[in-house]
């Protein structure tokens, strides 16, 4: 999530140690077999978003008191500055600690994430599972330009980050029916392609996400509908920010049908094979900008506009448009980002334009991504 820190260093995976509380759970929630859905909020807030985490948890409690859970259960894996990570459950009666993790020094490792997913299923078994990932993120890249070949990142646990391939690998057997990314820049095709086969539905932003994040007080109940109403959730988030004024009116939200991502990859590959040279004079829509807090310019271009510009072949364009229509089931953007930059050509998903700057791509390890390996690279090397 979100825009307030610089995301500095990357750590290696650390082994995970954990222990369960010996005291009986005073608020066990529904019996196994009665829970229709368990939703996990993986909240890494040991960074500049720490106060925002508390505010969001209060919003969740407000929604739960109003009946948001129905027959579901809401778990939060909370990582703060001063205490060990803990897995808590929110109920109409308050919160209960299900497990603590005193041996975990980093929660942005595959080992930690895999363990928490397993604990969710063990401690809150349900017919269906979903997850909300809450923290800072930079999608496929890391902003640490001084470190060549540095990992792409999700999360910020006291400066430690997690590569997108590692994250996707940790979740590959999770059985999550949906993922909502309450964090910046996860709506890029490179990141989404890494999550192929992990889940059917992803909700994310192609741009930065304001520190307030998702309005949980109005959205939480829709996660527990008989079928999670992800379009309603994305629309509510968009409309929440679109109703604001000035720089606060900044938002782009998209719902992705991951079952269609291979069709998008095939259509994009065919276009790149026919031409990889951008036409002269075109100014591509960007989702990242050079601001006073970070420089994400030239990293996230609108995918639809870019691939459409590469060809006038009607057959290639038809296949591309059809695949994108199936892939993107909802998208919306405010007129501007941070009250300064226009959002005019927004297909709902971004991409890096490799041919514009191969050297920068190398620094960020672009050639280690599946999108490079399967779509872009074969036609440029």
Whether 378 has a pLDDT exceeding 50, the answer reads yes
Band of the pLDDT at 172, cuts 50, 70, 90?
A: very high
Band of the pLDDT at 321, cuts 50, 70, 90?
A: very high
- What pLDDT was estimated at residue 285? 98
- What pLDDT was estimated at residue 361? 87
Rounded CA gap, 61 and 70, in Å? 14
Rounded CA gap, 248 and 271, in Å? 37
pLDDT over 70, % of the chain: 88
Q: Can you state the percent helix, strand and coil of the chain, rounding each to 5?
A: 35, 20, 45
- What pLDDT was estimated at residue 295? 84
Rounded CA gap, 142 and 6, in Å? 10
Whether 6 has a pLDDT exceeding 80, the answer reads no
Rounded CA gap, 200 and 279, in Å? 35
Residue-wise DSSP of 35-99: -S-EEEEEEE-SSTTHHHHHHHHHHHHHHHHTTTTTT-EEEEEEE-SSS--EEEEEETTEEEEEE
Summarize pLDDT for 129-144 with one digit per residue, the tens. 999 999 999 999 875 6
Structure tokens at 73: 């259960």
Whether 160 has a pLDDT exceeding 60, the answer reads yes
Whether 292 has a pLDDT exceeding 90, the answer reads no
Give the DSSP letter of residue 292.
S
Whether 303 has a pLDDT exceeding 80, the answer reads yes
Average pLDDT over residues 340-359: 94
Average pLDDT, the chain: 90
Residues 6+ apart with CB under 8 A from 24: none
Structural class in CATH, domain 32-257: alpha beta
Are 332 and 205 spatial neighbours (Cβ–Cβ below 8 Å)? no
Band of the pLDDT at 195, cuts 50, 70, 90?
A: very high
Summarize pLDDT for 205-233 with one digit per residue, the tens. 999 999 999 999 999 999 999 999 999 99
Rounded CA gap, 113 and 170, in Å? 6
Ranges of CATH 3.40.50.11970 domains, the chain:
32-257
Q: Does residue 344 sit in helix, strand or coil?
A: coil
Summarize pLDDT for 119-131 with one digit per residue, the tens. 999 999 999 999 9
């Amino acid at each position: 999530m979100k825009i307030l820190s610089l995301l500095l260093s990357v750590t290696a995976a650390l082994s995970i140690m954990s222990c369960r509380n010996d005291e009986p759970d005073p608020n066990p929630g529904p019996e196994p077999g009665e829970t229709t859905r368990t939703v996990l909020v993986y909240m890494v807030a040991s960074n500049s978003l720490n106060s925002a985490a508390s505010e969001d948890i209060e919003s969740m409690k407000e929604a739960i008191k109003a009946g948001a859970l129905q027959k579901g259960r809401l778990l939060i894996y909370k990582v703060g500055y001063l205490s060990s990570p803990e897995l808590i459950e929110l109920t109409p009666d308050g919160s209960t600690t299900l497990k603590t993790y005193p041996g975990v020094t980093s929660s942005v490792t595959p080992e930690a994430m895999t363990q928490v997913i397993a604990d969710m299923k063990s401690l809150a078994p349900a017919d269906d599972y979903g997850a909300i990932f809450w923290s800072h993120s930079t999608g496929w890249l890391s902003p640490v330009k001084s470190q060549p070949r540095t990992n792409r990142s999700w999360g910020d646990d006291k400066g430690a980050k997690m590569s997108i391939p590692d994250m996707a690998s940790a979740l590959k057997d999770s059985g999550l029916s949906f993922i909502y990314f309450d964090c910046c820049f996860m709506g890029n095709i490179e990141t989404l392609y890494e999550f192929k086969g992990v889940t059917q539905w992803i909700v994310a932003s192609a741009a930065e996400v304001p520190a307030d994040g998702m309005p949980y007080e109005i959205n939480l109940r829709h996660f527990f509908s008989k079928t999670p109403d992800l379009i309603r959730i994305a629309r509510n988030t968009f409309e929440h920010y679109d109703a604001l004024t000035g720089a606060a009116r900044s938002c782009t939200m998209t719902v992705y049908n991951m079952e269609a991502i291979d069709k998008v990859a095939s259509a994009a590959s065919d276009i790149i094979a026919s031409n990889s040279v951008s036409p002269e004079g075109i100014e591509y829509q960007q989702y990242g900008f050079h601001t006073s807090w970070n420089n994400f310019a030239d990293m996230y271009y609108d995918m639809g506009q870019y691939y459409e510009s590469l060809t006038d072949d009607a057959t290639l364009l038809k296949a591309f448009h059809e695949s994108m229509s199936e892939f993107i089931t909802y998208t919306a953007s405010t007129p501007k980002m941070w009250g300064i930059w226009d959002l005019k050509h927004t297909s709902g998903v971004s991409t890096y334009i490799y041919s514009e700057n191969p050297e920068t791509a190398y620094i960020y390890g672009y050639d280690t991504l599946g999108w490079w390996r399967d779509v872009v690279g074969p036609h440029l090397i």
